[in-house]
Homo-oligomer: A and B are copies of this chain.
Amino acid sequence: MSANDSTPGRYTVAQLAERFGLEYRGAGDRLIAGVGTLAGAGPEQLSFLSNGKYAAQLAGTRAGVVVVREENLADCPTAALLARDPYVAYARIAALFERLPSAPPGIHPSAVVAPGAQVAASASIGPGCVIEDGAVIEDGAILGPLCTIGPDCVVGAQSRLVARVTLVIRVSLGKRVLVHPGAVIGSDGFGLAFDRDHWIKLPQLGGVRIGDDCEIGANTTIDRGALDDTVLEEDVRLDNQIQIAHNVHVGAHTAMAGCAAVAGSAKIGRYCMIGGNAGVLGHLELADRVTITAKSLVTSSIREPGEYSSGVPLQDNRQWRKNAARFKHLDDYARRLSALEKDK
């Protein structure tokens, strides 16, 4: 059994059961060399059933073994691994079959590392990276091609910048942080003062602090603070094209879906879920365990956990036009309704 995750091997189902503490139900044993969907997996692949929507696919699966809840065992035509949460169990198992690109320790000859930068011997610095004075790259960190690391930035141990990531200045990443291509962290906050007839820029003197185990999506932007720091606590998960403005504070374990945006100095709690393209206005506070559904706009602070939404439903354009036109008079309708009730 290979211990090297970067060259995925093969595992017997019994090995998987033991490694992940799952119960194996089935006759004999078999080799598993990969994972797949219920519909697509073959006899050498493992699959899983978590979402009830796919239950109908269980009967026809050709997978070598399926991770299921006990309640689905009777319907499973193949060998099974029993799990309380098959999705979590599957996530752990699937990691065995991920082929990570090789990242040999050392600095690629085409990288430009300033004399005042500190790069751990075990770190891997890819082609074309630029690391400036005062930057620190810790043990086992991996920088893919074309990353730029500015002054006073720290890339924590075992963190990975996939490719073309920019840390501008005063950005500190914790351990095991994963940053996807095109992300920009530590850019100037959007701070302007209006002086009679033109804008004056406020220098952005703070930094960004990102906790352990965070993930930052492709082309996501996180501005540095104006005076204090912009902060993401540990295990914050940001999808692609998210915008985090200066001095935002995001609590641990909060996840945001693609294209969400948080304006300056907002404070998001722990274990929040921010839906795709949702927005939070500046200086607001969201309690822990607040869920905001997709494309909603938060315009005042939220003190209670729960799920919150804004927006109106999609309709056929002709119907929608009629209703939308009426929205402009909703206040009038409400008054007229009250008047009718009084007159009754």
Contacts and interface: CB of A to CB of B under 8 A. Distances in A.
Interface of A: 34-37, 40, 53, 85, 87-88, 90-92, 94-95, 97-98, 101, 108, 110, 112, 126-128, 130, 132, 144-146, 148, 150-151, 162-164, 166, 168-169, 178, 180-182, 184, 187-188, 190-195, 197-203, 205, 213, 215, 217-219, 221, 223, 227-228, 235, 237, 239-241, 243, 245, 253, 255, 257-259, 261, 263, 276-277, 279, 281, 283, 291-300, 306-317, 319-331, 333-334, 336-337, 340-341, 343-344
B37 A227 contact: yes
Contact of A311 (B36, B261, B297): B297
A276 B258 contact: no
A292 B316 CA distance: 9
A253 B312 contact: no
Contacts of A88: 193-195, 200
A344 B213 CA distance: 64
A317 B308 CA distance: 5
Contacts of A343: 344
A127 B127 contact: no
14 contacts: A53-B283, A94-B205, A101-B132, A148-B163, A148-B164, A184-B218, A190-B237, A241-B243, A258-B263, A277-B277, A295-B297, A307-B316, A308-B314, A309-B317
Contacts of A219: 182, 184, 219, 221, 241
Contact of A324 (B91, B259, B311): B311
B317 A323 contact: no
B314 A295 contact: no
Contact of A97 (B203, B294, B324): B203
Contacts of A200: 88, 91-92
B309 A325 contact: no
A217 B187 contact: yes
A231 to B, nearest CB: 14
10 closest cross-chain pairs (CB), A and B: A98-B203, A307-B317, A322-B331, A130-B145, A187-B218, A112-B127, A190-B239, A184-B218, A323-B330, A309-B320
B187 A184 contact: no
A235 to B, nearest CB: 5
A136 to B, nearest CB: 16
A85 B169 contact: no
A40 B198 CA distance: 29
